[in-house]
Every structure is written in structure tokens, then in C-alpha cells.
């Protein structure tokens, strides 16, 4: 029984010894704070105590303390040091006479006439104990006139407080930082959970469209994967036309006080990005993007596939089109017209619908030429609303399954296909040319390096070359000599 109990008690010891992850950091932080506190306490106790032999009271000598404020030296006694060497010795030494305290409240200043030749600053023995002058005031003089009071003494902050201003400010900031960390973390978690509870639980839009929800492969696995304090991921799979969907919520860094202050100056939104990985056979040759005008221009310049294959598409005259705030980038007008259907215009991107339901829309980007592991991909970017108004996003989120089906079924016409194939073959040729050019450049560099080496060798003086030749000759001579084996007779 005793053995069992002891093993139970000793069981958590290895886990305490080998800490990992966040626990280690918490312990490390605690240790550092305690060490700092210990340092502070020891320093303050050493500075505050005047119990050491030969140390006077700081309050007695204001001028001296002010002059020595910046230095690390201990304050010396205000009394003049005694002369340790005497010319004659008395056979009957008397105890030192203590003079009565002077009536003048100001302590006597050390006279400059006393020689300091034999005074050792580090010697503390034999110093007279200084008693602060007691000057009991009579009730008549209890309130001194304003002229007598020193104006400096009222305005001057105590040196101990002044020297700790940095510490006070920084420690208070750290406390605020820690407090904000927990509150901000909770805020971000609430937003992520409210989104998941709205769109990813039972009988929700993703549950009706995907057979596997969450990052695990079991049934009771968490829906959201927390990658950082402000990054949450949601994964779904098991649907026609696509391999899977990954939703990434990038929230404001509410947990970080510095970032929070920065976000007050430069505001930014909480964003959610849906990446839909399409099946190879499900998606035709489509390059299409829809975003707000400024963002669309930036995308067209920066995104490789849009830059290479697509152009800005102007609004057609004969049919309804997206709101003026939005710009369409597409490989052809046909693709743009087919993907911006009547349903989409009525639900989200039309003039009336966009004001109500399109507030959180940022961009769409569909491409079969994405750079990365998945070539065929649909990208949706929306701004997240606050935790209490997640219902406002319903129509935007509904775009995801709608476009998966639309693009999965979509087939280009023969004319559009020939154009897209020509563009892709041209792009492939350009890429091949770039590769060849890079190889040629590398070869040319190598050749140039070799030439430089040859020139450097040619520059070597004739003597060096002669020496080299002699060395080689001697080496060859050694090689040419018959090898004689030496055996020792036993």
C-alpha cells in the first residue's frame, strides 16, 4: 500500500522536470519576475539602511546627497573625518566630550581647512556616531513664515520616486499588456466560435454541403483549429467537384496591446478567406476575379495569373451587371458573363442587394493557374462582422457552395477554349524561354569565372611558374625512381 501511494505521489515529478510548450514559458516568466523582484528588494534594502558603521543619515546633508545623486558611491558622513595621526600621546586618555547640540538647525559643514592626507574613505572604524540635531519648536514658532520656507523643498520630487519612474511606467504597461492579452484572446475566440456556431454546426450551410467537418478525421473532433491567438482555421471535405475547403479567419491582434493601439491609428478588419481546392477534371480553364475597384487594380498588377491571362472587363450594355463599386477581371467576356449570373446579382452583387448584404465582400478569385500545390482553386475573401451580427454574412457564405457547383459544371465554348489554350501555350513557351535564359546566364557566369582564373594564373610571374615546374619535375622524378622495399632480417 505504501509503495503504491509513493508511486502516486512521485508520478507528476517527471512532468514537472521536463516542461514543454507554454508551461515552460509561464514558469520562465514567473522566474524572471521573481528574480527582478528579488534584485529590487535587495538593492532598496541596501540603499535604505543606514545601520552600517560610519554611515550617516541622508537627510542631514541635502547638498551632499544632491551632488552624489548620480554616482553609485555610498553617502559619506557630513562630519569632518578625525585626524588619525597625532603628534603626542596622552597617558590618560579621556572619553570624547560630547558638545551640546547647537541651536542652529543647519548641520555644520565640513571645514576645508582640515587636511585629508591621512583620511581613508574606506575606513569605517572610529567614526563618531552622528546624532541628528533635535530642535523642539515652541508652540509660538509652530507656523514659520512663508519667507523662511525653502521654495525648492516644496517642488522637489523625492529622489527615490524619480529614479523609479521608468520601472513604474514599464511595469504598469506590462500589467496592462497581460490584462489585454486575456481580454483580447477571449474576444477573438468569441468571434471565431460565433462564426462556427452559425455556419459549421448541425443543419448549417457547411454541414449540408460537406460530409467531413473539422480538422480531425473522427466524429467528435473540434471544428476550429487555432493556429495563433488571432488565426483560426476551419476545414471541410467530402463534396462533389472539390477535394476540400479551408476557411482561415485572420482576426485583429486584439490580444496584443501594441497592435491594438496601432489598429486604432490604422484600422483593419477581421477577414475570412475560403480556399476551395477543386478536382482536376471538375474545373475548366477559367481565370476570373471580382473585387472593389482599387483592390482589383492592385490584384491585376500583383497576382501572377491575373496579370498573365486576364484583363479588366467593362460592363455590357444589354444586361444587368455588378455594382459600380466593383470591378471584374476575366480572361474573356464570355466567362465573366457566365459567372456573374442573374442569381448572384439578385442575391449579392446587384445594386439593391449589395447595399444590404455585400458590406463584408472583399474579393473573389477563381483560377486554374494558381501558383502552389493546388493549381485549380477558388478564393473567397470576406470581412467578418462582429459576434452578434454573424447572420449578415449568410448570403456571402452561400456564394461558396454556389460557385463550387457553378464552376464544377461550367464548360467553355469552343471559341473561348481556343483562346485560352493559345494563351496558356504562349505562357508555357515564355516560361520555357525564361528557364533557358537563366541556364545560359549561369553558363556565361561560369565561363567568365574560368576566364578570370586563367587571367590570374597568366599574371603570375615567370619565377613562380618556374618553381611550379621544378616541383612537378621533382615529383615525377620521385615517381620514376624504382621503389626499394626494406625488410629487416630477424
Q: Which stretches of the chain bind other proteins, using CB under 8 A?
A: 21, 25, 28-29, 32, 35-36, 39-40, 43, 47, 69-72, 160, 163-164, 166-167, 170, 173-174, 177-178, 181, 205, 208-212, 214-217, 225, 227-229, 231, 235, 237-240, 243-244, 246, 253, 255-256, 258-259, 343-344, 347, 373, 398-399, 401-402, 404-405
Which CB, 29 or 428, lies closer to other proteins?
A: 29
CB of 343 to other proteins, least distance (A): 4
| Residue given cell 570624547 in the structure block | 96
CB of 309 to other proteins, least distance (A): 26
* Bridge partners of residue 226, in order along the sequence: 232
The DSSP string of 428-463 is HHHHHHHHHHHHHHHHHHHHHHHHHHHHHHHHS-HH
CB of 275 to other proteins, least distance (A): 11
CB of 314 to other proteins, least distance (A): 25
Helix (H/G/I), strand (E/B), else coil: 336: helix
Torsion over CA: 37, 38, 42, 43 (sign) = negative
The DSSP string of 12-31 is THHHHHS--HHHHHHHHHHH
Which CB, 273 or 311, lies closer to other proteins?
A: 273
Residue 337: closest CA among 315, 358, 353: 315
Cell of 216: 480531425
Which CB, 6 or 69, lies closer to other proteins?
A: 69
The DSSP string of 135-200 is -PPPGGGSS--TTTS-HHHHHPPPHHHHHTHHHHHHHHHHHHHHHHHHHHHHHHHHHHHHHHHHHT
Which CB, 49 or 85, lies closer to other proteins?
A: 49
CB of 49 to other proteins, least distance (A): 15
Which CB, 47 or 443, lies closer to other proteins?
A: 47
Q: How far is CA 132 from CA 97, 472, 489, in A?
A: 17, 95, 103
CB of 349 to other proteins, least distance (A): 11
Helix (H/G/I), strand (E/B), else coil: 408: helix
Which CB, 235 or 382, lies closer to other proteins?
A: 235
Helices (H), 200-340: 205-209, 257-265, 293-302, 304-309, 333-339
Which CB, 345 or 412, lies closer to other proteins?
A: 345
* Cα–chain center distance at 310: 36
Which CB, 40 or 121, lies closer to other proteins?
A: 40
CB of 102 to other proteins, least distance (A): 33
CB of 480 to other proteins, least distance (A): 55
| Residue given cell 515564355 in the structure block | 430
Which CB, 57 or 405, lies closer to other proteins?
A: 405
Which CB, 210 or 309, lies closer to other proteins?
A: 210
CB of 91 to other proteins, least distance (A): 49
| Residue given cell 512521485 in the structure block | 10
Strands 311-313 and 287-292, how do they pair? unpaired
Helix (H/G/I), strand (E/B), else coil: 415: helix
| Residue given cell 621503389 in the structure block | 483
CB of 170 to other proteins, least distance (A): 4
- Separation CA 124–CA 398 (nearest Å): 85
Residue 104: closest CA among 135, 131, 78: 135
Which CB, 188 or 332, lies closer to other proteins?
A: 188
Distance in angstroms between the alpha carbons of the first and the last residue of the chain: 76
Helix (H/G/I), strand (E/B), else coil: 419: helix
H helix or E strand, kind and range, residue 313: strand 311-313
Which CB, 250 or 331, lies closer to other proteins?
A: 250
* Cα–chain center distance at 91: 78
CB of 163 to other proteins, least distance (A): 4
CB of 228 to other proteins, least distance (A): 4
Cell of 116: 585629508
Amino acid at each position: 500500500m505504501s509503495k503504491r501511494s509513493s508511486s502516486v505521489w512521485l508520478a507528476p515529478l517527471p512532468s514537472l522536470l521536463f516542461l514543454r510548450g507554454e508551461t515552460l514559458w509561464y514558469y520562465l516568466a514567473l522566474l524572471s519576475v521573481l528574480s527582478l523582484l528579488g534584485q529590487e528588494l535587495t538593492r532598496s534594502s541596501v540603499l535604505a539602511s543606514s545601520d552600517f558603521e560610519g554611515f550617516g543619515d541622508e537627510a542631514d546633508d541635502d547638498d551632499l546627497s544632491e551632488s552624489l545623486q548620480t554616482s553609485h558611491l555610498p553617502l559619506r558622513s557630513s562630519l569632518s573625518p578625525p585626524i588619525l595621526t597625532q603628534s603626542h600621546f596622552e597617558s590618560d586618555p579621556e572619553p570624547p566630550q560630547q558638545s551640546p547640540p547647537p541651536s542652529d538647525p543647519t548641520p555644520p559643514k565640513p571645514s576645508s581647512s582640515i587636511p585629508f592626507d591621512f583620511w581613508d574613505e574606506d575606513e569605517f572604524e572610529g567614526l563618531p556616531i552622528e546624532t541628528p540635531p533635535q530642535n523642539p519648536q515652541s508652540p509660538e514658532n509652530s507656523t514659520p513664515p512663508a519667507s523662511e520656507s525653502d521654495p525648492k523643498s516644496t517642488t522637489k520630487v523625492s529622489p527615490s520616486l524619480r529614479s523609479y519612474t521608468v520601472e513604474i511606467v514599464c511595469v504598469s504597461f506590462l500589467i496592462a499588456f497581460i490584462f489585454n492579452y486575456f481580454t483580447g484572446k477571449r474576444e477573438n475566440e468569441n468571434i471565431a466560435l460565433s462564426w462556427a456556431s452559425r455556419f459549421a454546426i448541425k443543419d448549417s450551410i457547411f454541414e449540408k454541403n460537406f460530409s467531413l467537418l473539422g480538422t480531425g478525421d473522427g466524429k467528435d473532433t473540434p471544428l476550429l483549429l487555432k493556429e495563433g491567438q488571432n488565426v483560426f482555421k476551419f476545414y471541410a471535405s467530402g463534396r462533389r467537384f472539390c477535394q476540400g475547403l479551408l476557411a482561415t479567419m485572420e482576426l485583429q491582434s486584439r490580444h496584443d496591446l501594441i497592435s491594438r493601439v496601432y489598429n486604432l491609428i490604422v484600422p483593419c478588419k477581421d477577414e475570412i478567406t475560403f480556399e476551395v481546392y477543386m478536382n482536376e477534371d471538375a474545373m475548366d480553364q477559367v481565370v476570373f476575379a471580382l473585387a472593389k475597384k482599387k483592390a482589383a487594380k492592385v490584384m491585376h498588377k500583383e497576382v501572377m495569373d491575373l496579370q498573365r491571362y486576364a484583363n479588366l472587363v467593362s460592363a455590357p450594355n444589354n444586361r444587368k451587371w455588378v455594382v459600380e463599386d466593383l470591378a471584374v477581371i476575366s480572361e474573356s467576356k464570355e466567362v465573366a458573363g457566365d459567372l456573374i449570373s442573374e442569381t448572384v446579382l439578385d442575391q449579392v452583387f446587384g445594386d439593391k442587394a449589395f447595399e444590404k448584404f455585400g458590406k463584408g465582400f472583399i474579393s473573389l478569385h477563381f483560377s486554374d493557374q494558381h501558383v502552389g500545390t493546388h493549381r485549380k482553386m477558388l478564393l473567397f475573401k470576406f470581412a467578418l462582422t462582429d459576434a452578434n451580427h454573424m447572420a449578415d454574412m449568410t448570403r456571402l457564405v452561400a456564394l461558396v457552395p454556389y460557385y463550387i457547383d457553378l464552376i464544377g459544371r461550367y464548360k467553355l465554348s469552343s471559341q473561348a477554349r481556343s483562346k485560352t489554350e493559345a494563351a496558356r501555350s504562349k505562357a508555357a513557351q515564355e516560361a520555357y524561354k525564361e528557364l533557358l535564359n537563366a541556364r545560359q546566364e549561369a553558363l556565361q557566369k561560369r565561363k567568365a569565372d574560368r576566364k578570370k582564373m586563367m587571367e590570374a594564373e597568366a599574371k603570375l610571374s615567370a619565377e613562380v611558374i618556374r618553381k611550379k615546374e621544378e616541383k612537378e619535375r621533382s615529383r615525377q622524378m620521385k615517381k620514376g625512381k624504382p621503389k626499394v622495399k626494406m625488410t629487416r632480417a630477424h
